[in-house]
């Protein structure tokens, strides 16, 4: 079995509503006791609608945000306990590719400097010529030629900028890439090119991907396993093949129903999820929107679940 390169256990994050003055009962628990493992060479997707906690989970895993509880391991290293200095030494092991390639690159920096910036921190012994050579090799790996080195971000298309963002993450030879909606800002045809590039890089380098997305069609194309999040909870998990072909949680089914269809003949009756009524304070957090809610759902313990957080999962028969 491939080694686990990223593991989180019991991760929890609470945000305060209304600024610094926390109103009683108004804490926003963005991530509830999240646990998962990511294996080398594999892609784990976290999916859910806006506000589900998926991007917060990614930032916690990278320690761009501090968790309120739980443990995070990069390989065997418990990073929650590292000082700022020690954390910096391990930072090259996990890098992020951001959603918006237009906003994630410094418009005043040439590409050779933008992509090579991480080398100044993590490989300071390299000369300027050595950095430039490594930048050139990494850009070529991402499908960009030598002419890109001395140009600025505004001189590239969206897809090219995302290739530059991927090169910037790869330059320090990480084990893990955190991909936060990496193709959502791109045209559909360009999305396919970037996804194919990511799959090719994963095969060549054995990279592990933590892939954040609301687009299940994209996830189906690239991911091995999936976590479905609602209101900070994982409500269903498993292999992409199993979860997508036979979803057990009503929320998962509703996400699948929302995917675009290729032909009218593929259209089927969608599960009727109730309008957004908020989150239930007791029991199942999805109860206020679930068409199958029953009385015992109010006493359901969301933490006592494996694979599907539902007392009355969808029939697979």
pLDDT per residue as tens digits for the range 119-128: 998 999 999 9
**Rounded CA separation 172/95 (Å):** 9
Planar angle of CA 240, 230, 68, nearest 5 degrees: 110
Q: Evaluate whether 33 touches 70 at the Cβ level (below 8 Å).
A: yes
> Ramachandran region of residue 136, left (φ > 0), alpha (ψ -120 to 50) or beta?
alpha
Give me 1's structure tokens. 């079995």
Q: What is the pLDDT at residue 198? A: 97
Average pLDDT (193-210) is 96
Is residue 36 predicted with pLDDT exceeding 60? yes
**Rounded CA separation 65/67 (Å):** 6
Question: How far lies 316's CA from each of 125, 239, 262, 269, in Å?
Answer: 59, 16, 24, 16
What mean pLDDT, rounded, does the chain reach? Answer: 89
Q: Binning pLDDT at 50, 70 and 90, where does residue 317 land?
A: very low
Is residue 170 predicted with pLDDT exceeding 80? yes
Q: Evaluate whether 230 touches 52 at the Cβ level (below 8 Å).
A: yes
Q: Evaluate whether 17 touches 27 at the Cβ level (below 8 Å).
A: yes
Task: Let me know if 315 is exposed, middle or buried by CB neighbors in 10 A (0-12, 13-18, 19+).
Answer: exposed
Q: What is the pLDDT at residue 277? A: 67
Is residue 93 predicted with pLDDT exceeding 50? yes
Is residue 161 predicted with pLDDT exceeding 90? yes
* DSSP of 295-314: GGGGG--TTS-SSB--SSPP
Q: What is the pLDDT at residue 258? A: 84
In the CATH hierarchy, which fold is given to the domain comprising 4-213? Rossmann fold (3.40.50)
Q: What is the pLDDT at residue 99? A: 87
pLDDT per residue as tens digits for the range 213-269: 999 999 999 999 999 999 999 999 999 999 999 999 999 999 998 887 654 555 555
User: What is the torsional sign of CA 237, 240, 241, 244?
Assistant: positive
Q: Where are the domains of the chain?
A: 4-213
Is residue 26 predicted with pLDDT exceeding 60? no
Q: What is the pLDDT at residue 88? A: 87
**Rounded CA separation 80/262 (Å):** 45
Q: Binning pLDDT at 50, 70 and 90, where does residue 20 land?
A: very low
């Amino acid at each position: 079995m491939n080694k686990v390169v990223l593991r989180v256990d019991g991760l929890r994050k609470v945000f305060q509503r209304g600024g610094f003055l926390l109103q009683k009962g108004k804490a926003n628990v963005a991530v509830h006791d999240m646990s998962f493992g990511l294996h080398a060479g594999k892609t784990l997707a976290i999916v859910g609608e806006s506000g589900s906690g998926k991007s917060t989970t990614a930032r916690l895993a990278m320690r761009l945000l501090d968790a309120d509880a739980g443990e995070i391991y990069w390989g065997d290293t418990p990073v929650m306990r590292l000082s700022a200095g020690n954390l910096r030494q391990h930072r090259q092991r996990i890098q992020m590719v951001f959603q918006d390639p237009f906003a994630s690159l410094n418009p005043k920096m040439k590409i050779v400097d933008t992509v090579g910036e991480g080398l100044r921190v993590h490989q300071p012994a390299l000369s300027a010529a050595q950095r430039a050579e490594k930048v050139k090799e990494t850009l070529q790996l991402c499908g960009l030629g030598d002419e890109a080195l001395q140009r600025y971000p505004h001189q590239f298309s969206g897809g090219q900028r995302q290739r530059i963002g991927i090169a910037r993450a790869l330059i320090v030879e990480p084990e893990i890439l955190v991909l936060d909606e990496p193709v959502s800002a791109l045209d559909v045809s360009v999305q396919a090119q970037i996804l194919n590039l990511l799959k090719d890089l994963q095969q060549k380098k054995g990279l592990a991907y933590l892939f954040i997305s609301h687009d299940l069609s994209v996830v189906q194309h690239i991911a091995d396993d999936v976590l479905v999040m609602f209101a900070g909870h994982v409500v269903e998990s498993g292999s992409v093949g199993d979860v997508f072909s036979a979803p057990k949680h009503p929320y998962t089914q509703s996400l699948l129903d929302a995917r675009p269809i290729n032909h009218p003949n593929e259209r089927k009756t969608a599960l009727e999820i109730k309008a957004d009524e908020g989150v239930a304070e007791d029991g199942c957090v999805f109860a206020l929107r679930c068409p199958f809610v029953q009385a015992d759902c109010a006493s359901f313990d969301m933490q006592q679940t494996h694979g599907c957080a539902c007392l009355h999962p969808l029939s697979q028969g």
